[in-house]
Chain A
Amino acid sequence: MSTLVGRVPGRQVGVDLLVRLALRRDRVMVAAWYAVLLLVCFASASATTTLYDTEAERVKAAEAINASPGIVALYGPILDVHSAGEVAMTKMTVLYSVFVAIMVLFVVRRHTRMDEEDGQFELLGGTAITRDAPLTAAVVVGSGLSLLLGVLAAAVNVLGGLPVTGSLAFGGSWAGTGLVATGLTAAACQLSASARTCAAIASSAIGVLFVLRAVGDTTAASWLSWTTPFGWNTQLRAYGNTRWWILLLYVAMAVVLVGGAVLLARRRDLGSGIFAPRPGPATGSPRLADAVALAVRVHTPMLVGWTTAVAVLGLVFGAISPSFDAFDSKGIEDMLRRIGGAGAFRDTLLGAVISVLALVVTCFAIAVVGHGGSDEHDGRTEQVLATATSRARAFLATLVVGVLGATWLLLVTGVTLAVGVGNDTDHSFGRLVGSALAQGPAVWTVAAVAVLCFAVRSRWALLGWGVVVLFATLGQIGELLGLPQWVLDLSPYTHAPRMPLADFEPVPALVLSVIAAALLAVSWLRYRSRDIG
Chain B
Amino acid sequence: MTEAPVISVQGLVKTFGAFRALDELDLEVLPGEVHGFLGPNGAGKSTTIRSLLGLLRADAGSMSVFGLDPWRDAVEIHRRLAYVPGDVALWPNLSGGEVIDLLIRMRGGDPETSRREELLERFDLDPTKKGRAYSKGNRQKVALVAAFAADSELLVLDEPTSGLDPLMEQVFNECVAEHTARGATVLLSSHILSEVERLAARVTIIRAGRAVETGTLEEMRHLHRNRIEAVLEGPVPDVTGMAGVHDVHVEGQQLVCTVDPEGLTEVLGALTAAGVQALTSTPPTLEELFLDVYRPDLEGARR
Contacts and interface: CB of A to CB of B under 8 A. Distances in A.
Interface of A: 117, 193-196, 271, 277, 279-286, 288-291, 294, 297-298, 301, 378-380, 382-391, 529-533
Given A194-B92, A298-B91, A281 B98 contact: yes
Interface string B121-132: 000000111101
A389 to B, nearest CB: 6
Nearest to A377: B89
B92 A280 contact: no
A283 B98 contact: yes
Given A283-B127, A379-B87, A389-B106, A271 B133 contact: yes
Given A193-B133, A289-B102, A382 B55 contact: yes
Interface in B78-123: 78-79, 81, 83, 85, 87-103, 105-108, 111
Contacts of B101: 283-284, 288
A378 B89 contact: yes
Contact of A531 (B57, B75, B95, B106): B57
Contacts of A384: 106
B74 interface: yes
B105 A284 contact: yes
A289 B98 CA distance: 10
The CB with the most chain A CB atoms within 10 A, among B95, B98, B101, B106, is that of B106
Contacts of B108: 388
B74 A390 contact: yes
B53 interface: yes
B232 interface: no
A301 B93 CA distance: 9
A277 B130 CA distance: 8
B3 to A, nearest CB: 24
Given A383-B83, A385-B55, A532-B55, A196 B92 contact: yes
Looking at chain A's contact residues, the main secondary structure is loop
Contacts of A277: 130, 133
Given A388-B75, A389-B78, 5 more contacts: A290-B105, A298-B93, A385-B78, A386-B81, A531-B57
Interface of B: 50, 53-57, 74-76, 78-79, 81, 83, 85, 87-103, 105-108, 111, 127-130, 132-133, 143, 156
A253 B78 CA distance: 56
B11 to A, nearest CB: 19
Given A378-B89, A380-B91, A284 B102 contact: yes
Contacts of A378: 89
B130 A379 contact: no
Contacts of A285: 98
A462 B156 CA distance: 32
B103 A387 contact: yes
6 contacts: A193-B132, A194-B132, A195-B92, A281-B128, A383-B85, A390-B75
A388 B153 CA distance: 14
A391 B97 CA distance: 25
Contact of B50 (A271, A290, A533): A533
B98 A279 contact: no
A390 B196 CA distance: 32
B106 A379 contact: no
Nearest to A271: B133
The CB with the most chain A CB atoms within 10 A, among B54, B83, B94, is that of B94
Contacts of B91: 294, 298, 380
A280 B95 contact: yes
A413 B272 CA distance: 95
Contacts of A291: 106
A281 B93 contact: no
A512 to B, nearest CB: 33
A286 B111 CA distance: 9
B31 to A, nearest CB: 21
Contact of B79 (A195, A379, A388, A530): A388
Given A277-B133, A283-B111, A288-B102, A298 B94 contact: yes
A282 B97 contact: yes
Contact of A280 (B50, B57, B85, B97): B97
Contacts of B103: 383, 387
A510 to B, nearest CB: 35
A277 B57 CA distance: 41
B97 A284 contact: yes
A387 B132 contact: no
B54 A385 contact: yes
Nearest to B101: A284
A193 B129 CA distance: 12
Contacts of B129: 279-280
A195 B132 CA distance: 10
B99 A387 contact: no
Contacts of B81: 386
B57 A387 contact: no
Contacts of A388: 75-76, 78-79, 106-108
Contact of A279 (B54, B57, B99, B128): B128
B78 A282 contact: no
A385 B92 contact: no
A456 to B, nearest CB: 15
B93 A196 contact: yes
Contacts of B96: 280
Contacts of A294: 91, 102
A280 B90 CA distance: 14
A195 to B, nearest CB: 8
The CB with the most chain A CB atoms within 10 A, among B55, B85, B93, is that of B93
B187 to A, nearest CB: 13
